[in-house]
Chain A
Amino acid sequence: MHPVVKLVSQRLALGLILLIAASVLIFVGTLILPGDVAQSILGQSATPEALANLREELGLNEPAVLRYFDWLFGALQGDLGTALTNGQDIATSIGRRLGNTLFLAFWAAVISVPLAIFLGLLAVRYRDRWPDKLISAVTLASISIPEFLIGYLLIYFVAVQLGWFSSVAMINDSMSLLEKLNAIALPVAVLTLVVLAHMMRMTRAAILNVMQSAYIETAELKGLSTFKVIARHAFPNAIAPIVNVVMLNLAYLVVGVVVIEVVFVYPGMGQYLVDHVSKRDVPVVQACGLIFAAVYIVLNMIADIVAILSNPRLRHPK
């Protein structure tokens, strides 16, 4: 078997095993949370009778192992079940929420990834001169400020004082694309600021690393312009670490934006998961957990595969 195919298939199998391991971990995690779903649904107004009735109806008296396997086989057949708390179909609810999350993540990525790479290249080109220092300072500052604070600052100045964009980034099906983009402008801006520094600095470091190599010196001695040396000779050889950090940040944009969702009232996956965790709605938490795990695993897999493919020693085996 070609080593590339072998490595890639190994990587895929590993991903699947990781996914199953993650589902077990998530399940155990939900079991050790204090309180149960019936108690959480009824809250302070729970009477012993109401609790007993609700537990019976939700099947909480069954052993945990049995509930886990019931759910797992359902999920394998594409049936995520219904939410214990309000009886809504999980797949339908998640479909809409995931769509919203991906929409936000997509636009944040479309802006932040090229910008980060461009700024990284620029920083290398003007290394240790003022553009480099300015880019580093600004991006480091933006990553150091808590994201909710950036969010609140933008809301206060841009939404409340200037009235340019709305502070509530609520999107729904009846809006046009332009209206939706207008609604998500502020959260996209915050997310861009939050992920920019990480990607930019990784790009800069990876390229600088390559710049130490002898062939760069050769390229320079050939008399190529600095920018050409960076873009044509250094950048392609720094792709693996850059893709790695880009994928990590894309994963963050999908699974880590719950704070942004709260601040901007955005109807995405994070808020959905948190609501159901606090109500101990195990099937939904499981489903969200699996999706989040899958996003991480798939994106990391892509990063690894790109790294494998971009490695000439594997592409041209002896």
Chain B
Amino acid sequence: MKDQLDFMTQSVTSGKMTRREFMGKTAALGISAAVAGSMFARAAEAAGPVKGGTLKLGSIGGGSTDSLDPAVAASQVPYHNLYQFGETLVNVTPKGGIENRVAESVEASADAKTWTFKIRKGVEFHNGKSVTAEDVMRTMERHSNDDSQSGALGIMRGIESMKTDGDNFIVELTTPNADLPYLMADYHLMIQPDGGFDNPAAGIGSGAYMLEADEPGVRHMWKKNPNYWDDTRGHVDEVEIVVINDATARMAALQSGQVHIANRVEPKVAGLLDRAPNLTVRNAAGPGHYVFIMHCDTAPFDNNELRLALKYAINREEMVDKVLRGYGSVGNDMPVNAAYPLFDDSIPQRPFDPAKAAEHYKKSGHDGSPITLRVSDVAFPGALDAAQLFQQSANAAGIPLELKREPGDGYWSEVWNAQPFCASYWGGRPVQDQMYSTAYLSTADWNDTRFKREDFDKLLFAARGELDEAKRKALYSQMGMMVRDEGGLICPMFNDFIEATSSKVQGWVVDSTGDTMAGKWSHKCWLA
């Protein structure tokens, strides 16, 4: 029987046997479907990419209001659409490095203030025009000019001037930034012809797939770009993104074989799905975190003793167990974790300590009136449950926490960044500098904890210009400790990205930098 099996797996590896045949023959040998499925997957993986087929993603986060304009993409479906037709200067690799895409090389001046991106030759837009340094500069202009509505506006702010020189696109920064390539990998910054000034939502870029059908809120069809420059990517002929916002419907579509990949699997069903013979749950520890945020400048949270009391009063392990069902890790009241390069893992973990919480609460001199925590399930999946757990553990420490359930509709405009204490989430950023600059710098637009500290800002700028990695790491460690001990962030947990795929999907890579292989599922996966 072993010989037969070896022969069959070889046939699969050399592409002579389909999944259906393989499953049929192994069943005849009395092998269970689950075992045969994983044998098939291993054999097919070893064979290397297979070309052709239609790869289908069932995705949350789409609506009939969606547009293909990269500037306004904010939820999952627009994000995945961008990665079909567009390409950025560079990508962040699954391990957190930088990989050149439209840029062929990236060079910094010694002070990290001037950056030169050499544009790759032979890269073509879908309209047949070659990608030039001029197109790159126009793209950056569109995302940084005064009329921009771009989600990337914040990260473009450190740019002093931009120019082109032949094939080179040159950026001059106001202050040194050793992490500029990471900023250029932002998904909003897809290179478009003439920067997308004329028709940003046309879906024309230099990516591996070209627009075939655009039905916002329903589905998006993409077909292979025959002139794509990189033949190691983009294996399937067609990519279909089906909008399925309802979690149960999304899982049913995956189980009944109507889509190959379903994103945003709820932790409570992930274990069950993984037991199904033809499905695989793919989870990756990421930089995303579920949080409770306090405004450091608003009473009663302007009192650091009270903030510490609340930080000690949360049971992090319990939350990871009960809200994330183990698909995540414990947070330490700072926005970074091991998913970041230069993370200092020697910073001690803050435990759940009711006695200490009570002590700090007493020291804070709070009058004993209930502290209101605003929460809604749109803040993060399971936010209500998490808040209730928090309420219980805080009450055990003698801190009267009161929950106010807010409507999901309008939560991001009326509650988050507006009310002094609420539940929220952060998707994380590729590097620590960007995470801190986005939400902890005194002048940051999204400083949702109102953490305004000059000494912290100074450390941030020093680290940004520091090219010596050891020194940078020490600076980031210092900053992390400041946020942990004095900031307004209560971070009980980091959530994994959880997706599920059918066993036909091969070439999956664990990528901790973003949702669904950081958007690159269609670039790297193929269908067995």
With A265-B243, A276-B65 as given contacts, are A34 and B249 in contact (CB-CB < 8 Å)?
no
A61 to B255, CA, bound (A): 48
Q: Chain B residues with Cβ under 8 A from A170's Cβ? A: 218-219, 242
| Interchain CB contact under 8 A, A87 and B67 | yes
With A39-B413, A47-B445 as given contacts, are A83 and B252 in contact (CB-CB < 8 Å)?
no
Quick one: which of A42, A45, A46, A279 has the most chain B CB within 10 A?
Answer: A45
With A44-B74, A166-B256 as given contacts, are A83 and B150 in contact (CB-CB < 8 Å)?
no
> Which DSSP category, helix, strand, loop or mixed, fits chain B's interface?
loop
Q: Chain B residues with Cβ under 8 A from A272's Cβ? A: 64, 217
A9 to B58, CA, bound (A): 50
| Interchain CB contact under 8 A, A35 and B215 | no
CB-CB nearest in chain B for A93? B64
Q: Does A281 contact B (CB under 8 A)?
A: yes
Give per-residue flags for B186-216: 1 if the beta carbon is below 8 A from chain A beta carbons, else 0.
0000000000000001000000000001011
A99 to B72, CA, bound (A): 29
Q: Does B151 contact A (CB under 8 A)?
A: yes
Q: Nearest-CB distance from B423 to chain A (Å)? A: 13
Q: Chain B residues with Cβ under 8 A from A103's Cβ? A: none
Give per-residue flags for B474-512: 1 if the beta carbon is below 8 A from chain A beta carbons, else 0.
000000000000000000000000000000000000000
From A36, A47, A159, A267, B256 is in contact (CB under 8 Å) with: A159
From A57, A86, A167, B253 is in contact (CB under 8 Å) with: A167
With A42-B72, A159-B256 as given contacts, are A275 and B249 in contact (CB-CB < 8 Å)?
no
Q: Does A229 contact B (CB under 8 A)?
A: no
Q: Chain A residues with Cβ under 8 A from B413's Cβ? A: 34-36, 39-40, 46
Q: Does B349 contact A (CB under 8 A)?
A: no
| Interchain CB contact under 8 A, A278 and B409 | yes
Interface residues of B in 413-455 (CB under 8 A from A): 413-414, 416, 445-446
A53 to B147, CA, bound (A): 6
A149 to B253, CA, bound (A): 16
A54 to B147, CA, bound (A): 8
Q: Chain A residues with Cβ under 8 A from B414's Cβ? A: 34-35
| Interchain CB contact under 8 A, B246 and A263 | yes
Q: Chain A residues with Cβ under 8 A from B244's Cβ? A: 168, 265
With A166-B256, A170-B218 as given contacts, are A152 and B64 in contact (CB-CB < 8 Å)?
no
Number of residue pairs spanning A and B whose beta carbons lie under 8 angstroms apart: 140
| Interchain CB contact under 8 A, B64 and A271 | yes
- Contact count band on A: 35 or more
| Interchain CB contact under 8 A, B215 and A159 | no
| Interchain CB contact under 8 A, B63 and A267 | no
From B58, B65, B149, B412, A275 is in contact (CB under 8 Å) with: B65
With A35-B414, A85-B67, A281-B65 as given contacts, are A49 and B153 in contact (CB-CB < 8 Å)?
yes
| Interchain CB contact under 8 A, B409 and A167 | no
Q: Chain B residues with Cβ under 8 A from A163's Cβ? A: 256-257
Give per-residue flags for B221-246: 1 if the beta carbon is below 8 A from chain A beta carbons, else 0.
00000000000000000000011111
A41 to B63, CA, bound (A): 11
CB-CB nearest in chain B for A166? B258
Q: Chain A residues with Cβ under 8 A from B217's Cβ? A: 267, 271-272, 275
Quick one: which of A46, A49, A167, A170 has the most chain B CB within 10 A?
Answer: A167
- Contact count band on B: 35 or more
Q: Does B154 contact A (CB under 8 A)?
A: yes
Q: Nearest-CB distance from B37 to chain A (Å)? A: 17
| Interchain CB contact under 8 A, B153 and A152 | no
With A35-B410, A279-B65 as given contacts, are A50 and B153 in contact (CB-CB < 8 Å)?
yes
A271 to B146, CA, bound (A): 35
| Interchain CB contact under 8 A, A42 and B256 | no
Q: Does B148 contact A (CB under 8 A)?
A: yes
Q: Does B75 contact A (CB under 8 A)?
A: yes
Q: Chain B residues with Cβ under 8 A from A86's Cβ? A: 65-67, 69, 201, 216
Q: Chain B residues with Cβ under 8 A from A49's Cβ? A: 146, 148, 153
Quick one: which of B150, B154, B253 has the most chain A CB within 10 A?
Answer: B253
Q: Chain A residues with Cβ under 8 A from B298's Cβ? A: none
From A43, A48, A168, B412 is in contact (CB under 8 Å) with: A43
| Interchain CB contact under 8 A, B216 and A88 | yes
Quick one: which of B58, B65, B242, B445 has the most chain A CB within 10 A?
Answer: B65
Q: Chain B residues with Cβ under 8 A from A138's Cβ? A: none
Q: Does A155 contact B (CB under 8 A)?
A: yes
A303 to B242, CA, bound (A): 39
Given contacts A49-B148, A57-B149, 20 further A-B contacts (CB under 8 A): A33-B409, A34-B414, A36-B413, A41-B74, A41-B149, A44-B416, A54-B149, A86-B66, A87-B67, A167-B249, A167-B255, A170-B219, A172-B218, A172-B219, A262-B249, A263-B248, A265-B242, A267-B217, A276-B65, A278-B409
Binding site for B on A (CB under 8 A): 33-36, 39-50, 53-54, 57, 83, 85-88, 93, 97, 152, 155-156, 159-160, 163, 166-168, 170, 172, 262-265, 267, 271-272, 275-276, 278-279, 281
